[in-house]
C-alpha cells in the first residue's frame, strides 16, 4: 500500500521523528481531527432509523474505512505531484500515529513530583493519563497507575501502529488510530454507549489482538537485554495476561510486572465507585516511584525491538513478493 520509493525507510524515519519531536502542540494533528469527526458524526448516525447497535456499527466502520481511503487518496495525489512529496507525507502520517516519546514524557512528568515529595502535583499529572480516580491514590497507587499506563499504551501507541504501518503503510496505521480513538471516545459500557459503542470497542479489541500478543516476547527480549528478566516477563504474560477486563491490556501489563518484579492491577475507584479487579504479578513487590523511569526505559527498548522486527519482516516480505 505504501506508494513512495522511499517507503523502505518509512518505519525508521517515522519512529525517529517520534523520538525527536514527541507530540508538539504547534503541529496540526490528524488524531485531533479524528476526534472532531467522531463528535460530528455521532449524532448523525444516532438519528438513522436503525437500532443503536446497528447505527454504532455503521458509524465505526464508516469512519475507519473513510480514514484509510482519505489517507490513500492523499498519498496518491501527492505521488502525482512528486514521489518525494508522497514519501515525506507518508513518513509524517505514520509519525502522527506513534506516541513513544509523549508516553515517556507523560510518565516522567508523574515521576518528578513523586521524587520531589509533592504528591499533590503527582496526582494532578497522573490524572491526565489515567481513567481511574486520582484523588484516592496513595504514592504507591500513583506510581502503579503510571506504570500500568506505560505498559498498556505501549501496545496502543507504539506496537500496534508500527505493526499496521509495516503491513499497510500510513493508510492502515491511520485506520488503526481511528479505531483506537473511537474506542477511547465511545467504547464505554455506560448507558449512553453500551449499545452504540459496542462495535467500536470490539473492533478495537480485534485490532489489538495480534499486536498485543506479539508484544509479550518483544517485552521479554527488552527485559532480557536490560536486566536479564526476559523469562519472568514472558512467564507472567502467559500465566497472568488474562487477569484484566481487557482481552489485550493484561498481556503487556503482566509482562511489565514480571520484568520489573512488581504487582499491578487490583481495585480502583472510577467515578467514585470502587471496582474490584484482579492483581497481576501475584507475590511480587509493590510499585515505587523509581519503577516509573525503569518502565519508560523498558517501553522505549521494546519499541526499538518492535521497529526492528516489523521493519525486517516487511522488507523480507517485499523481497519474496
Region 226-252: what's the mean pLDDT? 94
Mean pLDDT of 75-91: 94
Across-strand partners of 280? 264
Q: Give the pLDDT band of residue 316 (cuts 50, 70, 90).
A: confident
Q: Stretch 110-130: mean pLDDT, rounded?
A: 96
Average the pLDDT over 16-38 and give the result. 88
Greater confidence (153 vs 188) lies with: 153
Output the pLDDT for position 305: 98
**What is the spatial distance between Cα 280 and Cα 260, in angstroms, rounded to a whole number?**
12
Is 64 within 8 Å of 179 (Cβ atoms)?
yes
Region of 144 please: left (phi>0), alpha (psi -120 to 50) or beta. alpha
pLDDT tens for 57-74 read 999 999 999 999 999 999
CA distance 38 to 186: 9
51, exposed or middle or buried, with CB in 10 Å at 0-12, 13-18, 19+?
Answer: exposed
What confidence tier does 5 reach under pLDDT thresholds 50, 70, 90?
very low
Q: Rounded mean pLDDT of 2-15?
A: 73
Q: Name every residue whose Cβ is closer than 8 Å to that of residue 156 and which is 6 or more positions away in sequence.
A: 180, 208
Mean pLDDT of all residues belonging to the chain? 94
Q: Specify the pLDDT at position 23.
A: 83
Residue 93 near residue 71, CB atoms below 8 Å: yes
Q: How far is CA 96 from CA 10, 21, 53, 157, 205, in A?
A: 12, 10, 31, 10, 21
Q: Encode pLDDT of 17-27 as tens digits.
A: 999 998 877 77
Q: Mean per-residue pLDDT for 135-159?
A: 96
pLDDT for the residue numbered 270: 87
Q: Supply 3's cell numbers.
A: 506508494
Range 11-33 average pLDDT: 88
% of the chain with per-residue pLDDT over 70: 98
Instruction: Find the mean pLDDT for residues 232-244.
Output: 95
Q: Which pLDDT value is given to residue 154? A: 97
Give Cα separations from 231 to 148, 300, 305 (angstroms): 20, 19, 17
> Is residue 4 predicted with pLDDT exceeding 60?
no
Query: pTM here?
Result: 0.94
pLDDT of 180 above 50:
yes
Q: Does 2 have pLDDT greater than 70?
A: no
pLDDT class of 7 with cuts at 50, 70, 90: low
Amino acid at each position: 500500500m505504501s506508494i513512495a520509493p522511499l517507503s523502505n525507510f518509512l518505519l525508521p524515519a517515522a519512529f525517529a521523528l517520534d523520538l525527536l519531536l514527541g507530540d508538539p502542540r504547534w503541529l496540526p494533528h490528524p488524531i485531533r481531527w479524528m476526534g472532531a469527526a467522531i463528535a460530528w458524526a455521532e449524532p448523525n448516525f444516532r438519528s438513522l432509523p436503525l437500532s443503536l447497535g446497528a447505527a454504532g456499527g455503521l458509524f465505526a466502520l464508516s469512519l475507519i474505512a473513510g480514514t484509510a481511503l482519505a489517507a490513500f487518496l492523499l498519498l496518491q495525489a501527492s505521488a502525482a505531484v512528486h514521489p518525494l512529496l508522497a514519501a515525506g507525507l507518508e513518513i509524517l502520517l505514520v509519525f502522527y500515529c506513534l506516541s513513544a516519546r509523549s508516553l515517556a514524557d507523560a510518565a516522567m512528568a508523574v515521576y518528578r513530583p513523586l521524587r520531589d515529595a509533592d504528591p499533590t502535583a503527582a496526582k494532578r499529572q497522573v490524572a491526565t493519563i489515567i481513567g481511574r480516580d486520582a484523588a484516592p491514590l496513595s504514592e504507591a497507587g500513583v506510581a502503579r497507575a503510571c506504570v500500568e499506563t506505560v505498559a498498556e499504551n505501549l501496545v496502543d501507541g507504539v506496537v500496534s501502529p508500527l505493526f499496521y504501518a509495516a503491513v499497510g503503510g500510513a493508510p492502515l496505521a491511520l485506520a488503526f488510530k481511528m479505531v483506537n480513538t473511537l474506542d477511547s471516545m465511545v467504547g464505554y459500557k455506560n448507558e449512553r454507549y453500551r449499545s452504540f459503542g459496542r462495535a467500536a470497542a470490539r473492533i478495537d479489541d480485534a485490532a489489538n489482538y495480534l499486536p498485543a500478543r506479539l508484544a509479550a516476547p518483544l517485552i521479554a527480549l527488552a527485559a532480557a537485554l536490560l536486566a536479564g528478566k526476559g523469562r519472568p516477563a514472558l512467564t507472567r504474560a502467559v500465566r497472568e495476561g488474562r487477569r484484566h477486563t481487557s482481552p489485550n491490556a493484561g498481556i503487556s501489563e503482566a509482562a511489565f510486572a514480571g520484568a520489573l518484579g512488581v504487582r499491578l492491577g487490583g481495585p480502583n475507584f472510577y467515578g467514585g465507585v470502587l471496582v474490584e479487579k484482579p492483581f497481576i504479578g501475584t507475590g511480587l513487590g509493590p510499585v515505587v516511584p523509581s519503577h516509573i523511569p525503569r518502565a519508560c526505559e523498558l517501553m522505549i527498548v521494546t519499541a526499538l525491538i518492535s521497529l526492528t522486527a516489523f521493519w525486517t519482516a516487511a522488507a523480507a516480505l517485499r523481497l519474496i513478493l
